[in-house]
Amino acid sequence: MTPPKIGDDRASYRANGRTFVADSCRALANAANAGAVRLHAIGRGDYPGCRLPVNELPGLRSVGSWDANSPQTWGLPLHRNEGIEISFLASGEITAGIENRVEKLHHGELLITRPWQPHQLGNPHVGASRLIWLILDVGVRRPHQTWRWPSWIVLNRADLDELTRCLRQNEQFIWPGSPDIRHCFLGISRAIEKNKKDCESSRLAVLINEVLLAVLDNFRARHIPLRRSLVSTERTLQQFLAELSGSLSEPWTLGKMAASCHLGVTQFVHHFRQTTNFTPARYLTQARVNHAGKLLLSESARPIMEIALDCGFSSSQYFTNVFTRQMGCSPRAFRRNHTRITDCPDIGGGISK
């Protein structure tokens, strides 16, 4: 699958049989409409706020601020954005979560997430706070793909490459801010609040470039450790495997698996074998059988054929043959002989690498 061009107004992509859609910030927009929070924003797609003109600042998906003067009854549950998101908490405190990690975001700190990285704000609600953010699409869907910054980002090549490495190759998502970062984000907030109808694209472009340079200076001052493995093809494979359990019923082919990872078939098979020590077909079959075994026990009244179809098997006979070969007994006998999942050590084992 070819990633969309920068500036393309699509805000979704399909992988592992699932469609990932960029967040619309609906809860925030609803709170603003109800008068619970002040919202100033400019955006594209489903993001709230005034619309960005089509040819202005391509790649900028959303930029804005909210100001909540009291604890709220809403939060932003687990969601994804199609670009790099950099948010600055000007005041207050918010609980932020990303990839099973939850931390407090305090005033004066940055929250940075990579493209399509699941994250949330609020636990489950946000508190009294003032948050300023920007989201830039850099044209990627998987960790190993090369970032393509919009042409109006004017940092020189060496600085932009360094910034890209710092953003891609570390897993820290909350960062201390700096006076320069605060000054830039407050400038963005003022520019948006002042221009409710017209987008001052030149001013925003300058301010966003200043933000990126200030973030780079902040990284340099902290000598952050970088991990190349976070942008490797193996990292993409690990994401694919983590998502696969939720799409076992998808009619997978080798070509579809490779395309989901934005890899050629030969490259996909090579890295798959290195990561799992399985061929893709064998891994998929074993994952389906293991999941079917769990469902046979946890949903004991459910028809076996229905479970087989939900796990991606096209016929009961094929399911029975594959299941018997892997588990040593038929699905019916397995259900009769095992009363608990823990009775069968094979379920879930063997493919967890």
pLDDT at res. 196 = 55
Per-residue pLDDT tens digits for 5-57? 333 444 565 655 566 666 778 999 999 999 999 999 999 988 999 988 888 99
Question: What is the CB neighbour count within 10 angstroms for residue 309?
Answer: 15
Q: Classify strands 50-51 and 38-43 as parallel, antiparallel or unpaired.
A: parallel
Q: What are the phi and psi torsion angles at 37 (to 5°)? A: -150, 150
Q: With a cut of 80, say whether residue 142 has pLDDT above it.
A: yes
* Residues 199 and 328 placed together within one structural domain of the fold: no
Q: How far apart are CA 213 and CA 211, in angstroms?
A: 5
pLDDT tens for 153-171 read 999 999 999 999 999 999 8
In angstroms, the CA 232 to CA 237 distance is 9
The residue type found at 304 is: I
**Do 161 and 290 reside in the same domain of the chain?**
no
Same-domain status, 184 and 287: no
Choosing from 176, 211, 229, the residue where a domain stops is: 229
Please indicate, yes or no, whether residues 36 and 143 belong to a single structural domain of this protein.
yes
Q: What is the pLDDT of residue 308?
A: 93
Residues 95 and 20 in one domain: yes
Closest CA to 131 of 75, 201, 195, 79: 75
> Quick one: 169 and 222 in the same domain?
yes
Average pLDDT over residues 299-317: 91
Q: Which amino acid would we find at residue 4?
A: P
- Which domain, by its residues, includes 266? 232-343
Judged against a pLDDT cut of 70, whether residue 291 lies above it is answered with: yes
**243 in the same domain as 210:** no
How far apart (Å, rounded) are the C-alpha atoms in residues 229 and 345?
32
Domain annotation covers residue 81: yes
Q: How far apart are CA 266 and CA 272, in angstroms?
A: 10
CATH number of the domain bearing residue 255:
1.10.10.60
Asked if residue 264 and residue 129 are part of one domain, the reply reads: no
DSSP string, 210-275: HHHHHHHHHHHHHT----GGGGSHHHHHHHHHHHHTT-TTS---HHHHHHHTT--HHHHHHHHHHH
3-state SS record for 99-157? CCEEEEEECCEEEEECCCCCEEECCCCCCCEEEEEEEECCCCCCCCCCCCCCCCCCCCH
Residue linked to tokens 């469902």:
295
Q: Are residues 65 and 212 in the same domain?
A: yes
Same domain, 38 and 162: yes
Mean pLDDT of the chain: 87
User: Tokens 């960005």 map to which residue?
Assistant: 52
CB neighbour class for 169 (10 Å; exposed up to 12, middle 13-18, buried from 19): middle
The answer to whether position 351 is within a domain reads no
On whether residue 103 sits in a domain, the answer given is yes
Final residue of a structural domain among 200, 229, 258: 229
- Domain total of the chain: 2
Whether 59 is in a domain gets the answer: yes
Same domain, 52 and 114: yes
Residues 68 and 37: beta-carbon distance below 8 Å: yes
Give the pLDDT band of residue 353 (cuts 50, 70, 90): very low
Question: To which residue do tokens 């994804």 refer?
Answer: 80
Residue 6 lies in a domain: no
Q: Is residue 256 part of a domain?
A: yes
Residue type, 5: K
Q: Judge residue 8's burial from the number of C-beta atoms within 10 Å of its C-beta, 0-12 exposed, 13-18 middle, 19 or more buried.
A: middle
In a domain, 2, yes or no: no
- Minimum mean pLDDT range among 133-142, 222-231, 274-283, 319-328: 222-231
Q: Which two tokens stand for residue 284?
A: 């998929």
The tens digit of pLDDT for each residue in 45-101 reads 889 999 888 889 999 999 999 999 999 999 999 888 999 999 999 999 999 999 789
Residue 198: predicted pLDDT: 56
137 neighbors 61 (Cβ within 8 angstroms): yes
Q: Do 111 and 244 share a domain, yes or no?
A: no
CATH number of the domain that 44 lies in?
Answer: 2.60.120.10
In a domain, 109, yes or no: yes
d(CA 131, CA 90): 6
Please, which residues bridge with residue 64 across strands?
41, 133
Residue 274 has pLDDT above 60, yes or no: yes
Q: Could you say which of 183, 209, 229 is where a domain stops?
A: 229
